[in-house]
């Protein structure tokens, strides 16, 4: 049976604010730094054991997925670092729940499992199916993002930088 964690946990940031600025400046060197703020986004996290009869050595693989609780988007991830307890200190920097169009935990679990099963099927491309077993479920997993406020050629920009992967996009002007 899978370990179901109801405690609120957080992925630790892998990038500092300085790292986030460096990532963005690599594409827009003339960006003027105004401010930075670490924000926390609500996800659910799932760890699976994936077994396939044709896997060399027969050893099961560990597969990790997270589901954005606001959009419902499921994503495969690298193995998680050690998770930390989400404290009241983090609370003030949470992304606000719009109260509509959010994804419940049961639906998040379905989406993560479907994503893992589909990825396994595509990887093996064989009629022999993989066995997907849930090992761990974290109902409330908070992911860090840096919200950078900047100016570029006189225009205000807000840029969201993933504090785990360094991926980023403009969220406001």
Instruction: Please give the pLDDT value at position 126.
Output: 61
| DSSP 3-state percent helix, strand, coil across the chain (nearest 5) | 20, 45, 35
d(CA 15, CA 4): 28
Q: Among candidates 141, 137, 165, which has minimal Cα distance to 14? A: 165
Asked if the model's pLDDT at residue 82 lies above 60, the reply is yes
- What are the phi and psi torsion angles at 53 (to 5°)? -60, -25
At 14-62, the pLDDT tens digits run 999 999 999 999 988 888 999 999 999 999 999 999 887 766 666 788 9
Query: Given pLDDT bands bounded at 50, 70 and 90, which one contains residue 6?
Result: confident
Instruction: Please give the pLDDT value at position 36.
Output: 95
Instruction: Please give the pLDDT value at position 98.
Output: 64
pTM score, whole prediction:
0.83
């Amino acid at each position: 049976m899978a370990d179901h964690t109801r405690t609120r946990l957080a992925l630790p940031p892998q990038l500092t604010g300085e790292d986030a600025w460096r990532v963005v400046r690599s594409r827009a060197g003339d960006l003027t730094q105004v401010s930075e703020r670490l924000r926390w986004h609500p996800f659910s996290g799932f760890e699976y054991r994936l077994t396939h009869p044709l896997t060399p050595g027969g050893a099961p693989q560990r597969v990790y997925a997270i589901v954005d609780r606001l959009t419902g988007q499921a994503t495969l991830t690298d193995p998680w670092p050690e998770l930390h307890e989400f404290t009241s200190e983090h609370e003030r920097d949470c992304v606000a729940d719009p109260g509509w169009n959010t994804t419940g935990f049961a639906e998040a679990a379905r989406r993560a499992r479907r994503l893992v099963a589909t990825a396994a099927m595509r990887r093996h491309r064989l009629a022999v199916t993989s066995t997907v077993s849930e090992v761990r479920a974290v109902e409330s997993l908070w992911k860090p993002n840096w919200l950078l406020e900047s100016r570029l050629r006189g225009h205000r920009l807000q840029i969201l930088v993933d504090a785990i992967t360094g991926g980023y996009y403009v969220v406001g002007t």
